[in-house]
Amino acid sequence: MNEAAHLQIFKLSHFQIDFMSVLIFVDQLDGHIKKSSHEALSYGAKIAGQTGDVAEAVVLGAVNEDLAALGQHGVKKVHHVQHDNLKNIDAQVYAKVIADVAQQTGATVVVFSNNSSGKTLAPRVAVRLKAGLVAGANALPDTSNGFSVRKAVFSGKAFANVAITTAIKVISLNVNAYTIVAGEGTAEVTPFNATVDAPKTKVTGSTKTSGKVALTEADVVVSAGRGLKGPENWKMVEELADELGAALACSRPVADAHWRPHNEHVGQTGVAIAPNLYIAVGISGAIQHLAGVNRSKTIVVINKDAEAPFFKAADYGIVGDAFDIIPKFTEAVKKVRGK
């Protein structure tokens, strides 16, 4: 290799080092940025601080919010890709665009929230970037000796520290696993011209779930099980949830029996959630149920059977009949709220 070629290679690698970034995918619904994306942004910005890279974000499609304000989480730049083909989330189309942005911005780490979008996008982006992936990270990576990320395994019974050895790393962060950090700061918003393929699938209609608060984004969740005896008894649970500004959830047999819709079913085969407060009413606490809720920060269990397994996982427990306790609980919340 001659000297000129050497010089060129040196310059190229120097150029790449200058522009290395941690790229965070910002997920939105109906033009509004999801809370879980604010967590991912805060998390990604912290990683950039650890690795000495710049935190940047990528937003796909039209958004009704001020993207410059994402700078409050520590991102310096927002790459905004707008195209008619991005109207509905299509995993293949989105993954190609995100990988393209990652490559062109020299991203060494790509961060997603491990929400429904992140679960479909992160593996596809990882394949395109030939990157190692940790899905469902619970903590910041340990960069003291390589790059390893902690995640829960065996339905939350253990943790694994997974080392990623590829040049580019992809991480999807569990929802509610990292506290949103918001300070001062404005990000530079730049349009990003990407080739956006036409989706191979066509969305012919969509139905919104009935819940007032989205289950996966909720801070407080009130959940009920077979102990409520039938769908007609959900009114009292709904009232409590309304007073607490909580989302509703249920155990699997409740959804299987069509007492509640399946999008409320939490657990191993349902939605996995990690709210700050999970109130379980008339749910036994089977391992398959716990697998989806055991990352909740505080668990309150109301069950008439003092031996119900759920009490072992609870921070607070009330042994008693839900039909007595829930109306009293709702009244007490109203009183505290001055109603």
Ligand X SMILES: Cc1cc2nc3c(=O)[nH]c(=O)nc-3n(C[C@H](O)[C@H](O)[C@H](O)COP(=O)(O)OP(=O)(O)OC[C@H]3O[C@@H](n4cnc5c(N)ncnc54)[C@H](O)[C@@H]3O)c2cc1C
- The count of C-alpha atoms lying within 13 angstroms of the C-alpha of 327, restricted to the half-sphere facing its C-beta, is 5
- State how far the Cα of 151 lies from the Cα of 266, in Å rounded to an integer: 20
Closer residue to ligand X (CB): 128 or 226: 226
Segment near ligand X (CB under 6 A); pick from 31-39, 67-75, 211-219, 277-285: 277-285
- State how far the Cα of 99 lies from the Cα of 134, in Å rounded to an integer: 16
Closer residue to ligand X (CB): 181 or 286: 286
Cβ burial of 183 (10 Å; 0-12, 13-18, 19+) is: exposed
In which region does residue 252 sit, left (phi positive, over 0), alpha (psi from -120 to 50) or beta (all else)? Answer: alpha
Q: Which one of residues 79, 282, 299, 330 is an interface residue with ligand X (CB under 6 A)?
A: 282
116-135 footprint of ligand X as x/- string (CB under 6 A): --------------------
Q: What is the helix (H) or strand (E) element at residue 21, kind and residue range?
A: strand 21-26
What amino acid is encoded at 281 in this protein?
A: V
Q: Which one of residues 270, 273, 295, 329 is an interface residue with ligand X (CB under 6 A)?
A: 270
Radius of gyration of the chain (CA): 23
- In the chain, the N- to C-terminal Cα span, in Å, equals 80
Least gap, CB of 218 to ligand X (angstroms): 17
Q: Which one of residues 65, 188, 305, 315 is an interface residue with ligand X (CB under 6 A)?
A: 305
Interacting residues of 105 by C-beta distance below 8 A, sequence separation 6+: 19, 21, 23, 56, 79
What amino acid is encoded at 60 in this protein?
A: L
Least gap, CB of 337 to ligand X (angstroms): 25
Least gap, CB of 314 to ligand X (angstroms): 12
Q: Which one of residues 118, 132, 156, 225 is an interface residue with ligand X (CB under 6 A)?
A: 225
Least gap, CB of 84 to ligand X (angstroms): 38
Instruction: Give residues 248-267 in contact with ligand X (rule: CB under 6 A).
Output: 251-254, 267
What amino acid is encoded at 127 in this protein?
A: V
Segment near ligand X (CB under 6 A); pick from 47-55, 149-157, 208-216, 300-308: 300-308
Q: Which one of residues 244, 289, 296, 329 is an interface residue with ligand X (CB under 6 A)?
A: 289
Closer residue to ligand X (CB): 26 or 236: 236
Least gap, CB of 261 to ligand X (angstroms): 14
Query: For residue 55, how many other CB atoms are within 10 A of its CB?
Result: 28
What amino acid is encoded at 285 in this protein?
A: G
Segment near ligand X (CB under 6 A); pick from 3-11, 18-26, 54-62, 298-306: 298-306
Q: Which one of residues 43, 303, 313, 317 is an interface residue with ligand X (CB under 6 A)?
A: 303
| 284 is a site residue for ligand X (CB under 6 A) | yes
Instruction: Give residues 184-203 in contact with ligand X (rule: CB under 6 A).
Output: none
Q: Which one of residues 16, 269, 276, 298 is an interface residue with ligand X (CB under 6 A)?
A: 269
38 contacts 29 by C-beta, under 8 angstroms: no
Closer residue to ligand X (CB): 110 or 322: 322
- The count of C-alpha atoms lying within 13 angstroms of the C-alpha of 67, restricted to the half-sphere facing its C-beta, is 24
Closer residue to ligand X (CB): 114 or 303: 303
Cβ burial of 267 (10 Å; 0-12, 13-18, 19+) is: buried
Q: Which residues would be at the binding site for ligand X (CB under 6 A)?
A: 225-227, 251-254, 267-270, 282-284, 286, 288-289, 292, 302-305, 308, 321-323
